[in-house]
């Protein structure tokens, strides 16, 4: 998403602002997990090397948080324009051309991928819920089924943000050309 197209324009449609707000709340909340991961990882190292105490549950918690940061942070990263993109030509495009590229990218690539992930993970997640899957390791954390639920939740949150990006770019493209020039 081009940073030239305002992400917080007060005059943008309320649906876009609402979807962006959901992503902002989810992203900023999820970001705090990185601090928790650092603290717990440090605790694991101190316990292991300082006191010869190991904790599989603490190690599992770091793995769970790591997964949550990536899965639930994907939509926020999309909103911030942080996903990988080849900018060789994109940077040379006009803002309107970038909006076309971004809109088509959301429609042709991102939305179909999130539908595939959501649909494809559904049975996998439901099976984990049916058996209340837990850690295979003795002393590990339970709730693996909760962790696996992040797959369709990531698809949902990323899909909502991709839809917001599509709407934002279409809205931008529908504005008169002279009002969108930078």
List, for residues 88-113, the tens digit of each pLDDT value.
788 888 999 989 999 999 999 999 99
Amino acid 12: pLDDT: 72
Q: Where are the domains of the chain?
A: 14-180
Q: What does the pLDDT look like over 24-47, one tens digit per residue?
A: 999 999 999 999 999 999 999 999
Amino acid 139: pLDDT: 80
* Rounded Cα gap, residues 77 and 158, in angstroms: 9
- The residue among 58, 52, 22 whose CA lies nearest residue 39 is 58
Amino acid 125: pLDDT: 96
Instruction: Show contacts of 99-108: CB within 8 Å, 24+ apart.
Output: 99/2, 99/5, 99/169, 99/172, 99/173, 100/169, 100/173, 102/1, 102/2, 102/5, 102/165, 102/169, 103/165, 103/166, 103/169, 103/170, 103/173, 106/162, 106/163, 106/165, 106/166, 106/169, 107/166
Amino acid 5: pLDDT: 54
- The residue among 158, 168, 136 whose CA lies nearest residue 3 is 168
Q: What angle is formed at CA 129 by the lines to CA 124 and CA 131, rounded to 5 degrees?
A: 100
Task: Provide block-wise average pLDDT over 10 residues at a time, the chain (182 residues).
Answer: 48 84 91 94 94 89 92 92 76 89 92 96 96 84 90 95 94 77 51
Q: What is the pTM of this model?
A: 0.81
- The residue among 152, 131, 153, 151 whose CA lies nearest residue 143 is 131
């Amino acid at each position: 998403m081009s940073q030239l197209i305002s992400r917080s324009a007060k005059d943008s449609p309320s649906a876009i602002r609402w979807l962006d707000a959901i992503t902002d709340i989810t992203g900023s909340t999820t970001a705090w997990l990185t601090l928790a991961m650092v603290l717990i990882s440090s605790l694991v190292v101190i316990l292991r090397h300082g006191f010869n105490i190991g904790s599989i549950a603490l190690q599992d918690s770091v793995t769970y948080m790591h997964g949550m940061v990536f899965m639930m942070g994907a939509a926020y990263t999309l909103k911030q324009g942080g996903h990988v993109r080849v900018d060789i030509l994109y940077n040379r495009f006009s803002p309107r051309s970038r909006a076309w590229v971004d809109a088509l990218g959301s429609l042709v690539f991102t939305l179909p991928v999130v539908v595939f992930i959501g649909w494809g993970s559904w049975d996998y997640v439901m099976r984990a819920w049916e058996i209340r899957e837990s850690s295979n390791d003795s002393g590990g954390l339970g709730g693996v089924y909760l962790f696996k639920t992040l797959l369709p939740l990531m698809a949902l949150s990323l899909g909502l943000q991709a839809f917001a990006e599509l709407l934002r770019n279409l809205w931008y493209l529908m504005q008169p050309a002279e009002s969108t020039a930078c």
